[in-house]
Structure 1
Amino acid sequence: MKTPLRFFNFLFILFIIAVGQTAFGKITTGDGKITGKITDKSTGNPIAGVTITIPDLKIATSTDANGNYLLKRLPKGEYLIQVSAVGYASETKVVELGNTYSVDFKLSTSNYELSDVVVTALGNTTTRKRATIPITVVTNKMIREGVANTAIDLVSSQPGVNATTEGSGTTKPQINGLGFDRVLTLMDGLPQEDFQWGDDHGILIDPYAVHSAEVIRGPASLQYGASAEAGVISFKSGPLPQNGTVVGSVLTEYHTNNGYLGTSLNIAGNHNGFVWGLQASGEAAHSYSNPKDGYVWGTAWNQVNGRLVLGVNRSWGYSRLTLSALHRRIELPDGNRDSTGRFMFDFPQNGKIYPTRSDFLSYNANIASDKSLGEYQAWWQNSVNVGKGKIGLDIGFARSVHHDIDTGTVGAGNLILGDIPFNLKYQIADDKSGLKLTTGVNGMYEFHHNGDAPPLPYVPDYEIPNYTNFEIGGYAIVEKNFKDLTLSGGLRFDHTNFTGDPMSLNSEGRIVPVGTSGSTVQFSSFNNKYNGLSGSIGASYQLPGNNYVKLNVSKSYRAPAINELTSNGLNIGSNLVQLGNRNLKAEQGYQVDLVYGHDGKDVSVEADGFYNHINNFIFANRTDSLSSGFPIYQYLSTNTAIITGVSGFLNIHPAATKWLEIDNGFTYIYSHIPNETDSTRHLPYIPAPHLNSEVKFRFNDGHNSIFKGTYVKFGLQHDWAQNNVYSAFYTELPSAQYTIFNAGVGTNLVNPKTGRTICSVYVNCTNLTNVAYADHLNLAQYFLAYNGTPATVTQQNQGIYNMGRNISFKLIFPFGSNSHKTTAEE
């Protein structure tokens, strides 16, 4: 414990020194201000309602009726600003903030909004086309128009991204065929360490708190460490408003299939540089249904979330504190049926053997076996100007609580996890030379203990031991921008130190002192240390004719996760027994990405081909043994795993027909384990080839119309059959191809006199024709029991299928006030 505490003291002292230098140096004077006018490039007319954002500062404003905008009380320094509006291509520009900076923009009309969008997940703020590695951006507009039950649903339809699920509220992300501890998920930069290794619950982030997202596809994200071996999903909350402004919105949503009810309030303000934000939401759903299973027992869930942001913007930089609390309760299906296929209770409930219709339609998510999950976070982010550079210090605390409740209110498994993440970073950029340097140290101190055992006669479940884990890594990334060429490279070194406590159990499964007569060893003490080097070098080149190419070569490293090392028990939610392996070595990988893109006035296209070679690849191998009817999985590593694939998009947005947009996204991934048999030559749970296609028709707004931005869209999702599976001992089954159709409509009701939006309305129908299907990454298709006795699924149609037809209705009511003068007056 001494080493982490000393390191945190060092971070704090270093930050105080930086603040002191800034407070007494010359660079603290001044009040950064940006003002200007935004017009239509072809007509010269001013554009109202354009959003102007400084992503690094998370500050935004919008233009008034005359196209004027103003941002003030901004920290000094060099920043990239982004301008975006519906129906126009995004524009970016680098500005040097001193006192007052005036910059005008002329926007070109376009239905494609991602042409020059800003990305920040790479550490150095840049644009999507300039980034040297593949990156996907999900905008707020895309989120508002879509349908999602969880935060991962917001990004899972993007090229190269997929999601595993075991039922409602349990989605976990995959990037390029890799998931769980190989994908790092962030919320405003805070790592989500809420038992990432578990596939029986989702990422504990409120989808209503997410304003936008960025996905880094590949291990080139050096600043994030070994947990980002496959890539990074970076969720971002909404930008804070301009000084003197209070803005917000109220959202309400309903889904017909599972009765999903969602409500969210979001409000934020800025008073002379003191910024604040409050977000609160609630969600609830009963069991979902599909044409094969009817209502699926054990898929109800509910969630509440609260989030508070407090901070200051000053000439020296900014400081922000985010506090959040989330509680989610999810039922977990186990596929228990009678001989006719009818769902049964695991245990009789009030004398009943079968759930009734009222049980299926109940929003009470603790009738079936369920989980009670809590996530409580504090995250303090700071940025201080030092000379021409910036020092950032982020430090936080997260407490994750995980109760496995087999029946009633008794927790058989009770896991309590604490994390102290930290990040110290120095950045300096020179726009004239095109050089950018980012260097820093980050990591995490993690501690876990098992909670109290349930009272007799219930038997506790201890799946992982009490342990501590200290991770720390240092990195340096250099980027050089030429006129059309961007070069980027960096190195990182990581150290991981696991220390586990011994545990012994008596005949009743209770913890007793180690060495007690008649006891059995559940866990022995251990201390595993890992060191690893990772790096990348890449380039992007802007070719003539709006073409561009990218090439990136990276070396990845990942230490084994705690479950891979130590698991020894039943995973209640996944209906299987897992056994760890303390002799596992760290994974070492090499990946090459080659990207071609074109961003024209009529067509935008991008294709990313990748080759990933991983040594000591770790996965759970199903054995031919059972424990109380549940299959036993043993973690092992193969000498080599090879994953290749291609993902990309094709967006057609004809300049001559601005009412039409056609969007297509495709993902194909192939895995191979050399020198293995036919049943073991592919990695398990690699997604099937996947196509998303959508046609959107936009209506002319009209001069005095109360409807703005009206559209109708039709789409399909097609998954081809996946026959490249790890079929040994029925670990994985081939999946059939399927096609589902979707449709949607949306509009904004506005005040024709002021142009202000009164309400936004979105209606979507997914699985329009009510197809019965099981996605290849739907792990609930392997859940089957007869009269309470677990059974092995040997055919895909024996398990649980995905949701059937669903119609969603979403209303968003924005509001806001400005206590200061108008932009033009100021």
Structure 2
Amino acid sequence: MLLILAAGTMVAAAKTTTGDGRITGKITNKVTGHPVPGVTITIPDLDIATSTDANGMYLLKRLPKGQYLIQVSAIGYASETKVVDLSNTYSVDFKLSASNYELSDIVVTALGNTTTRKRATIPITVVTNKMIREGVANTAIDLVSSLPGVNATTEGSGTTKPQINGLGFDRVLTLMDGVPQEDFQWGDDHGILIDPYAVHEAEIIRGPASLQYGASAEAGVISFKSAPLPENGAVLGSVLTEYHTNNGYLGTSLNIAGNHNGFVWGLQASGEEAHSYSNPKDGYVWGTAWNQVNARLVLGINGSWGYSRLTLSALHRRIELPDGNRDSTGRFMFDFPQNGKIYPTKSDFLSYNADIASDKSLGEYQAWWQNSLNIGKGRLGLDVGFTRSIHHDIDTGSVGSGNLLVNDIPFSFKYQLAGDSSGLKLTTGINGLYEFQRNGAAPPPPYVPDYEIPNYTNFEIGGYAIVEKNFKNLTLSGGLRFDRTDFVGDPMALNDAGNIVPAGTPGSAVQFTGFNNTYSGFSGSIGASYQLPDNNYVKLNVSKSYRAPAINELTSNGLNIGSNLVEVGNINLKAEQGYQVDIAYGYDGKDVSVEADGFYNHISNFIFANRTDSLSGGFPIYQYLSTNTAIITGVSGFLNIHPAATKWLEIDNGFTYIYSHIPNQTDSTKHLPYIPAPHLNSEVKFRLNDSHNSILRGTYLKFGMQHDWAQNNVYSAFYTELPSAQYTIFNAGVGTNFVNPKTGKTICALYVNCTNLTNVAYADHLNLAQYFLAYNGTPATVTKQSQGIYNMGRNISFKLIFPFGGNSNKVASAE
């Protein structure tokens, strides 16, 4: 029904479109006055982009009318932004200043009101497409996890979940083109179901000031975005292929998009696979193979009235789960004999089949219909979708012991009003989702079913208003939100065979009791940013957060197969209430850019899984509690050195330090578990000068270092968490574009990276696989870090991107 309605609306809109907004202009070098070809001009609110031709000219037409913030960016130049009015034909020229630092004045949209990074009142991090192309990632979260204030918990190379300022899982909201990822975010045994090749750029809000998104964004928001659609009359695309030496990662992706008189479309398809990874301590780590396929289709209409777009996507991931099962010598063993073997052979370790060890079969299917309508001087956003998440826990072969099916209907209605002359912006709306989950049928004998959460429904709805006022140098922003969450859980009873039977059946056992819980609460934010003289700026923001308990925290009652532990929920949990203060100072000069962000977060009724001294089937039992107050403080920042007189050199540094405290607790319980260790990332990049007739352009060589200090502030009771040792790893990389010197078009882009150059054996503090240990199939408690599974060793990656399409007079690029 959603697809039929969306298609009908777009056809009707196409027939009634009259007139169009447009913008054109010329982009030149501020010093020389020469035209700059290949500059990217983007309108983030419309998700559309173009580039300049050989004469520095650009044109965007058949656009919705209204006021929009546009961004101009190019490699080797500082970004520029400007508000334009597309109600009439508009001509805007830009003069760009040479700079190696591309984040000087970049547009951000994740805050609700479109603004720039420096004017945003809370810390926000931007990941550009250039950063993504030059980096190395197995998952979408890998694209952002090395940034200041951002980390990731892992259980292998293909399993990552994000953290922001020390908080993760249900406290971090992850979006893909505005769609909330509700794919079992509470589980740590599989990653966010987003294809990294579908991500063009990302924005990270670090703090609970994201009023637009609701209670799930208590710690912050990671907003992934696909590539903007091309200008009218263009068809653009690229083919990507990638290989990693350590785990044999093979990745291939096709992206193609077009625009014909306002009818826009895009197709992205990709596949990735990897065998077991290796490190100097463990050798090949059994149970870390995975594979994935993904496809996305976008169809839409642009007109003077606004735009309408429909996105359809399907992703399937099969991922093995390491459990650390070894013999007395430390050699990895099968959980059960495989074809008469008890040990995996080298061919097993190098197999791309992710269904030999205990594994998961995961599916994520989405339909997302986005609409923006011009209403007077404002815009009305109407978005609605449907997502289905499928989760099978498979112990052996193809039979699932745990089978979950979650359906979500997310919705968002938003009105935005911006007055360029007054500097006032208003965003108000209602959003939420309706979610219903069902357990699948029990597997046949001899398999034992696992029901971790009950069948339930969940309705979340919230209303908000955000106001922003821009003066010459001062930006004031504030907002208020109210959320309500209604959970209804069904009772469940099991017979002796583990099958579901009607409640009250003689001889049955109660797995879940029925419940009906309602939570509601306010969240709010008020902040300011001020542009001081000489390119200095400061920010201050005070916010109140609210989060209702998640379904696993309320109802869990069983073995979490991928995490090797038993969780017990508590339907009497209270909602979390928090207060956070963020303060930041920054300087953005021609030679140096620096920003330091500090925060203090006080959360009452903090919910976490407390390890008990009991076992079930050899696995530790964790009980969810909400009786504590949690205090989390930290500082993060970056220092980027890009000397204007030495354009071939750039030095980038990022730092994060987070400290947690639970008042009135003993030494073993006074810190929150799984707070990341303090870490520093540094990178030195050398750029080669481009000659006029050279076939190699944009060539660079880089060397990097990541140092993580020891983390001794741990929740050590019952070995819940272990101190982690410090480590230092070194990285290196090289990249270039092969260009046709006659036309200036990029033939292909090549990126080679080596991570963990010296092949250090290390275990990151948030590597949860370090707690996985069993001897001959019997679970064991890890009492020192060296007993667990370590992170990946040296890895060399090769990435090739072949761009194609465009207009004949445009400079094609890998971006």
Partner amino acid, structure 2, of 1:592: V
SS at match of 1:545: helix
Q: Aligned partners of 1:523, 1:164: CA distance in 2, in Å?
A: 29
Bigger shift: residues 493-502 or 29-38:
29-38
Aligned counterpart, 1:79: 68
Q: How do residues 466-481 of structure 1 correspond to structure 2 at under 5 angstroms? A: 466-481=455-470
Whether contact under 8 Å (1:170, 1:200) holds in the other structure is yes
Task: Work out whether 1:123 is the aligned partner of 2:109.
Answer: no
Find the aligned partners of 2:50 and 2:649 in 1 and give their Cα distance: 29
Cα 1:820–1:699 change in 2 (3 A) is: closer
The equivalent of 2:287 in structure 1 is 298
Picking from 258, 276, 297, the partner of 2:265 is 276
Deviation at 1:282, TM superposition (A): 0.2
Is 1:614 the counterpart of 2:603? The answer is yes
Q: How far did residue 638 of structure 1 move?
A: 3.2
- 1:348 pairs with 2:337: yes
Q: What is the Cα deviation at residue 31 of structure 1?
A: 1.4
- Measured after TM superposition, the shift of residue 36 of structure 1 is 0.5
Structure 1 partner of 2:673: 684
Aligned to 1:141, the other structure's residue is in SS state helix
Corresponding position of 1:465: 454
Shift of 1:167: 1.2
Task: Select which of 302, 313, 316 maps to 2:305.
Answer: 316
Match 2:198 to one of 189, 209, 215: 209
In the alignment, is residue 51 of structure 1 matched against residue 40 of structure 2?
A: yes
Q: Which residue in the other structure is 1:603 paired with?
A: 592
What is the alpha-carbon distance in structure 2 between the residues aligned to residue 21 and residue 329 of structure 1?
A: 40
Cα distance in 1 for partners of 2:791, 2:369 equals 40
Answering whether residue 634 of structure 2 is matched by residue 654 of structure 1, we say: no
Question: Aligned equivalents of 2:562 and 2:13: distance in 1?
Answer: 52
1:636 corresponds to 2:588: no
2:32 & 2:756 partners in 1: Cα distance?
42
1:246 corresponds to? 235
Q: Secondary structure at the match of 1:227?
A: helix
- Helix, strand or coil: the match of 1:359? helix
For the Cα contact (< 8 Å) 2:414–2:428, is it kept in 1?
Answer: yes
1:173 is matched with which residue: 148, 159, 162? 162
**Structure 1 position 402 matched with structure 2 position 391:** yes
TM-superposed deviation, 1:29: 5.2
Superposition map of 1:257-268 within 5 A = 257-268=246-257
- Residue pair 1:245, 1:819 contacting (<8 A) in 2 also: no
- The Cα shift of 1:22 comes to 14
For 1:278 and 1:789, how far apart are their aligned partners in 2?
Answer: 48
4+ residue segments displaced more than 2 Å: 18-24, 817-823
1:143-182 aligned within 5 A: 143-182=132-171
Find 1:578's aligned residue among 545, 559, 567.
567
- CA distance in 2 between partners of 1:818 and 1:160 (Å): 41
The answer on 1:139 being equivalent to 2:128 is yes
Q: 1:91 to 1:822 in 2, by over 3 A?
A: closer
- 1:588 Cα deviation after fit: 0.1
Superposition pairs for residues 360-509 of structure 1, below 5 Å?
360-509=349-498
Q: Percent identity?
A: 87
Who is 1:35 aligned against?
A: 24
Query: Is contact 1:714-1:744 (8 Å) kept?
Result: yes
- What's 2:324 paired with? 335
Q: Aligned-residue CA RMSD in angstroms?
A: 1.8
Aligned equivalents of 2:191, 2:123: Cα separation in 1: 25
The yes-or-no answer on 1:812 pairing with 2:780 is no
How far residue 820 of structure 1 moved from its aligned partner, in angstroms, is 10
Match of 1:756 in 2: 745
8 Å CA contact 2:53–2:809 kept in 1: the answer is no
Report the Cα distance in structure 2 between the residues aligned to 1:611 and 1:817, rounded to whole angstroms: 49
Which amino acid in the other structure matches residue 656 of structure 1? A
Aligned to 1:519: 508
Matches for 1:685-704 after TM superposition, within 5 Å: 685-704=674-693
Residues 688, 776 of structure 1: 8 Å contact kept: yes
Give the partner amino acid of 2:278: S
Decide whether aligned partners of structure 1 residues 384 and 694 sit closer, same or farther in structure 2, where only a CA change above 3 A counts. same
Displacement of 1:817: 3.5
Unpaired runs of 5+ in structure 1?
none
Once the two structures are superposed, residues 476-522 of structure 1 have per-residue CA deviations (whole angstroms, 9 ceiling, x without a partner) of 00000000000000000000000000000011111111100010000
Alignment partner, residue 550 of structure 2 = 561
Report deviation, 1:819: 8.2
Counterpart Cα distance in 2 of 1:288 and 1:431:
54
Using the TM superposition, give the Cα deviation of residue 19 of structure 1 relative to its aligned residue in structure 2, in angstroms: 13
Q: Which AA in structure 2 matches 1:608?
A: D
Counterpart AA for 1:489: G
- The reply to whether residue 744 of structure 1 matches residue 733 of structure 2 is yes
- SS at structure 1 position matched to 2:231: coil
8 A contact 2:713–2:723 mirrored in 1: yes
Q: Is the 8 A contact 1:244 1:819 kept in 2?
A: no
Pairs aligned (count):
809
> In the alignment, what sits opposite 1:802?
791
Instruction: Compute the displacement of 1:818 (Å).
Output: 3.2
User: Residues of 2 paired with 1:445 and 1:733: CA distance?
Assistant: 39
Q: Is the 8 A contact 1:23 1:316 kept in 2?
A: no
Equivalent AA in structure 2 for residue 476 of structure 1: A
Partners of 1:220 and 1:372 in 2: how far apart?
Answer: 35
CA distance in 2, matches of 1:580, 1:437: 40
Name the counterpart of 2:661: 672
Q: Aligned partners of 2:640 and 2:793: how far apart in 1?
A: 28
The residue matched to 1:303 in structure 2 has which SS?
strand
What's the secondary structure of 1:818's corresponding residue? coil
5+ residue gaps, structure 2: none
What is the Cα deviation at residue 639 of structure 1? 2.8
The whole-number CA distance in structure 2 between the counterparts of 1:352 and 1:698 is: 53
Report the CA distance shift for 1:540/1:577 in structure 2 as closer, same or farther (over 3 A): same
d(CA) in 1 for partners of 2:565 and 2:805?
A: 51
After TM superposition, the structure 1 stretch with the greater mean CA deviation from structure 2, 91-100 or 484-493, is 91-100
Is residue 442–residue 498 contact of structure 2 (8 Å, CA) maintained in 1? no
> Partners of 1:63 and 1:115 in 2: how far apart?
21
The answer to whether the aligner puts 1:223 opposite 2:212 as a matched pair is: yes
| CA distance in 1: counterparts of 2:248 and 2:228, whole angstroms | 31
Deviation per CA, 1:425-484, whole angstroms, max 9, x where unpaired?
000000000000000000000000001110011110000000000000000000000000
TM-score, scaled relative to structure 2: 0.98
Aligned equivalents of 2:811, 2:693: Cα separation in 1: 23
